[in-house]
Structure 1
Amino acid sequence: MEAPTTETNGAAEPLNVLVWHVHGPWLNSFVQGRHRYLVPYDGRDGAPGSEWARGLCGRPWPTARDIAPADLVGENIDVVVLQRPRELDLVSEWLGRSPGADLPAVYVEHDTPREHAALTRHPLADRTDIPLVHVTPFNRLMWDNGRCPTTVIPHGVRDPGLLYTGELARAATIINDPIPRWRITGTDLLAPLSLAAPIDVYGTGTEDLANALQVPPERVCGAGDFTQDRLHAELARHRLFVHTPRWTSLGLSVIEAMYLGMPIVALGTTEASASIPADAGVVSTEPDILAEAIRQFLHEPVFAELTGKAARHWAQANFGIEQFLGRWDAALAESTAAHQTLRTR
């Protein structure tokens, strides 16, 4: 059997990659690569798909296309990118092939362990045929990865440009589903921090946030979910960006905020302290220190602007889309080559 990629003038041909739409911002970066991306979709005529087959959801991704699960069996899939344990079974059900054994596969772990971090074993810990890719070094450290080969591919973000104006004397943040996730996303911290500056919260499920926090909407405003271009423009009008999660992976939102040129005030948990340097803002586990930093940026717009420019330079140097795609090219090539080696033995 021939390997799924061939060399043409020194460059490997694009792969047919099966990947689910789980985390929209991450997938938005991933599909900027040179491959062909097949995204399962079980809706009809543009209607929303299920959580296991959402499709593109109308995203303008020219290298990706929706595909019905029933049509996958007829497709030439070179490699599958898994993101949830259930997808291992879906590949077998939909393609009649076992990921790792019959089909090259890579598993991306977006999240921190749900419960006891030091004791939680990863679902792939006993497998050696599917490499495990963590999105932050912190995630790799906290999961018990067992025998599974692991690596880290940090986030990469397309540069939206230096859009910061800071014209609004308000803070902004992005939290999806802040009410049900509450302490995990640091939603409870918004009320006391809003005494330092009013906070506009963007994301899904934010509309009733002020009532849930029992504060006036002038202090914490649930702004709703915006398209990416509009969201970037709205964020950049705010004086600073606040990042409050206690126990999630480093959000792409804080990286995007740095790219926009916004100063950052962040809770010093998970990967935040390693990803936000001192000249890009303030990182602390002490809410009073965060509140004081918010006040300082609010009342010193020139300082806020200079800090935001430093944050942007850091983001460009550490979270570039080209580095991200290059690392993923290497990971996919290694997975397909390793699988081919096993098949020919």
Structure 2
Amino acid sequence: MAGPLSTGNLFYPLSPRLTMLLCTIFTQGGEDDLPSLEHLNEDDAYLLQEKAQQLLALEPDKRVAAVVREMRRQIQFAGLVGLEAIDPSWLLAGVRGEQPVTIGIILAQLSTGARGRILAHLPPKVRARVPAKEDLKQTRLEIMRIVRQKFESRYVAMPAPPGEPTHFYFKDIALLDARELVQLIRALGIEQLAAAFMAVGRRKLAELCHRLGTAAADELIAAYKETEQRDAMDIGDANDFLSRMVLGLKSGGPGPDDKDAFQKELFQKAGLFRLAMAVRQERPMFIQQLAQRIPRSHGKLLSQYVYRLNDSEEVDWTKLRRLQDLVLFRVEKLATRGKVNARYLKFEFCYWGDEEAEGQPAEGGEGQGYDDEGYG
């Protein structure tokens, strides 16, 4: 369980840009300047006003120390956007077409790992002309900053992780790294397929399982058995969903490699669709943050699914919140299995709950949610 709010979490979950804005108000102005926050959009203004009141509740010395400490932390977080938190495939797309010197300046401000992955995918002729980090030591700091800021403007700001364990809400899934999100998406894909087969029946489930490897088929069957009837898709939606998921996939052949490729892409597409269903009514910035965390092809598909869902379907808020609870519950279970950083188990997971039971979805028992055996 999370304890009371500490100064280490005062600015969480503000984005780096909003954090620096609030810190600037308190260092360059004061309480009298807070009304200027009303010029921001409603969500940002509400968040900043809430955090400002928490800061004002501190003793002056503690407030100054908290603001200065956070400003230092944000500066160390590598820019206002947090390029290190963006999947390298997005950064690679961003540097394509740039001059080698510009690419070198951008890469010089990234980690060794991210820099290496981007360089490895550049055309050989371009890569050979990109200056090394050591060759840019004489470049003026102002130029480095301008180039980085221009590059950062192509992306939305990524959320900075909290300094200490706190509450973990649905929106905090944007804190998961790429590897963790890929694990989550796979688990969600299995769950969404199970929800579809709850509607269309065991016979079609068996037909698909013949195209999967033994382990993957067992995972899907386990998820099917654990899915509650209220979480089943409508039969029409289920048939459309299954048709779309299989469309364009190479049929799982008899060989293990063929089946592995088929099930990997199937679970991935289905998981992105389920995630899109869960985030469809969230702010565009949050959806883009999630998209930027994962490989660019995955992120683009996630955004496409969100657009199609919002363009064609009305929102059932009860089902939406139930789905968000199930996603959050899956994150918590993945953390217990080491597939998501175990540090999140120190957080307090916060669920919408529903009319039948307040709090998180039920654990264990057939028809009672998920016992997490066999998949995810």
Both proteins in one fold, TM over 0.5: no
Higher RCO (C-alpha under 8 Å, 6+ residues apart): 2
Give the alignment's TM-score, normalised by structure 1.
0.27
Bigger strand fraction: 1
